[in-house]
Amino acid sequence: MAQVMMGSEVAKDLRRGIAEQIDRLKAQGRRLPRLAVVLVGDNPASLSYVRGKEKACAEVGMASLMIHLPSSTTQAQLMEQIRQLNQDATVDGILCQLPLPEGLDERQVIQEIAVDKDVDGFHPVNVGKLHLKEDGFVPCTPLGCMELLHRMGVDPAGKRAVVIGRSNLVGAPVARLLLNENATVTICHSKTADLPAVCRQADILIAAVGRAKMITSDYIKEGAAVIDVGINRTEEGRLTGDVDFDSAVEKAGWITPVPKGVGPMTIAMLLKNTMKAYYGHEGEQK
């Protein structure tokens, strides 16, 4: 029977640490870290994600700046907004909530964000730094996965890791982080042959697919650490992961649930990245 790693508890612990750092800055009368979030249009899911980020900032005492632009915003107007935030010395981190409404080019927007304020870690320079093992910003969900592994006491060095999913958002960066920590990494995708057999070799299995309960115990090696990144909605409207928790929990050594697993870690890592950007702007290494 697996031990269950509650991301919600780890995230709470991380937020507490950040709140303490901000309290110290306040006591010293210092400038506070500030995250700018740009939302274009009224996609309900995006609105709720943005509100979650605003709330998380408020809870730790971090300043935030929410910029809500109408869906009629042009590419030129959005680029100008990003440029203004790049130049604003009171802003440490900039995040543009994706997806953008149809007609707006995400790639151009990501490339416009200053590399030192790119707390989502999507800018090509930061992507390159991750691959070169240089210090930069790493996407929040993959960082959250690695933090959970560390808290499980799982050292990736020498282990076989299998990542299911190869997106730029999750699969590819988490695979690179595992490789950087000396795991032997296999990346699977929709064309992978005999996926269950590949997954059964994994000491560390990361599922980032977007298919409810696809990963049953048949995919899991006895005692493996299983991290479920997937967020899927069932017909009854409940959230569920990519892993069939009830069967997987019998075989894994460690497992993360959905909800309360990777999800809360993503926001905690966004706050952590914003603190890193802040210390960088203040000329301090942390």
Write out the H or E segment, with its range, that includes residue 255: strand 254-255
Distance CA 273, CA 281 (A): 12
12, 129, 131, 211: which one contacts ligand NDP (CB under 6 A)? 211
Pick the catalytic residue from 81, 97, 118, 221: 97
Q: Which is the catalytic residue, given 92, 120, 203, 244? A: 120
State the Cα–Cα distance between residues 175 and 227, nearest whole angstrom: 13
Shortest distance in whole angstroms from residue 86 CB to ligand NDP: 25
Q: Select which of 53, 117, 213, 251 is catalytic.
A: 53
DSSP, res 215: B
Assess 165 for contact with ligand NDP (CB under 6 A). Answer: yes
- 33 lies in the site for ligand NDP, by CB under 6 A: no
Catalytic residue list contains 272: no
- Position 198 contacts ligand NDP (CB under 6 A): no
Does residue 167 touch ligand NDP according to CB under 6 A?
yes
Q: Is 162 in the site for ligand NDP (CB under 6 A)?
A: no
| Residue 149 sits in the site that holds ligand NDP (CB under 6 A) | no
In the bound state with ligand NDP, the residue whose beta carbon lies nearer, of 210 and 280, is: 210
The vertex-160 CA angle with 187 and 270, nearest 5°, equals: 60
Rounded Cα distance between 282 and 277, Å, is 9
Q: Give 136-166 as a DSSP string.
A: ----HHHHHHHHHHHHHT---TT-EEEEE--
Residue 231 interacts with ligand NDP (CB under 6 A)? yes
Closest residue by beta carbon to ligand NDP: 167
User: Interface with ligand NDP by CB under 6 A: which range of 83-91, 109-117, 258-266, 274-282?
Assistant: 258-266
The yes or no reply on residue 175 touching ligand NDP (CB under 6 A) is: no
Give bridge partners of residue 34 from the DSSP assignment: 63
Instruction: List the one residue out of 235, 253, 232 whose CA is nearest residue 243.
Output: 232
Query: Residue count at the site for ligand NDP (CB under 6 A)?
Result: 25
How distant, in Å, are the alpha carbons of 44, 132, 143, 183, 204 from that of 158?
43, 20, 20, 5, 11
CA atoms within 13 A on the CB side of 235: 0
The CB-of-239 to ligand NDP minimum distance in angstroms stands at 10
Does position 127 bind ligand NDP by CB under 6 A? Answer: no
Given candidates 8, 21, 216, 232, which one binds ligand NDP under the rule CB under 6 A? 232
Interface with ligand NDP (CB under 6 A), residue from 8, 192, 201, 216: 192
Q: Counting contacts by CB under 6 A, is residue 238 touching ligand NDP? A: no
| Stretch of 9-17, 100-108, 151-159, 262-270 lying at the interface with ligand NDP (CB under 6 A) | 262-270
Identify the CA nearest to 101 among candidates 137, 77, 126, 66: 77
Q: Where are the beta strands (DSSP E) in 104-146?
A: none
Whether 53 is a known active-site residue: answer yes
Minimum CB separation of residue 133 from ligand NDP in Å reads 22
Q: What is the spatial distance between Cα 241 and Cα 256, in angstroms, rounded to a whole number?
A: 9
Give me the active site residues, please.
Answer: 53, 97, 120
